[in-house]
Amino acid sequence: MDKEELRGYYKVYKVPGVLFLTAHEAAHAAQRGKLYKFKDPFRELHADCVASRLLTFFEPNMKENELNNFLKIVINSGSEIHGTGSNRTDAIKMGLALIKVDCSPKELYQLISKEDKDLVFSN
């Protein structure tokens, strides 16, 4: 994203959205250091979960309306690469501790849709 795109993103999603976006990309960098490689959409769902978990450290007192606005970022942004909007929302809820599990690959795997289960690991 360039500066103008980031400004536009901030205009819509404010600080939580920009923090999430930054943390999501940082999660991808951390994934590269693992012994295994995730395939899309699992890789993206894992990054969503980790990013939203990091968001709780920087925005621990998000109000309910901010949280709902934040979740709108992903509910309408499902794709073949990023997973369904529903899967993305669930991954983010995991990260925000609204679903009482952590972002481990095993727990995330149990959360995602049946259709996506064969898309988890690359060879």
* Count: domains in the chain: 1
In contact, 42 and 50? CB cutoff 8 Å: no
Tell whether pTM > 0.85: no
Structural domain includes residue 123: no
Query: What is the pLDDT of the chain when averaged over all its residues?
Result: 79
Is 3 domain-assigned?
no
User: Is residue 1 a part of any domain in this protein?
Assistant: no
Per-residue pLDDT of 57-81, as tens digits, reads 887 787 777 777 777 766 667 677 8
**CA torsion through residues 120, 16, 89, 85, sign:** negative
Looking at per-residue pLDDT, the higher value among 101 and 49 belongs to 49
Provide the β-strand partners of residue 79: 83
Segments forming the whole domain that contains residue 32: 9-117
In the DSSP assignment, the letter for residue 116 is G
Residue 90 resides in a domain: yes
- Is 2 within the bounds of a domain? no
DSSP at 83:
B
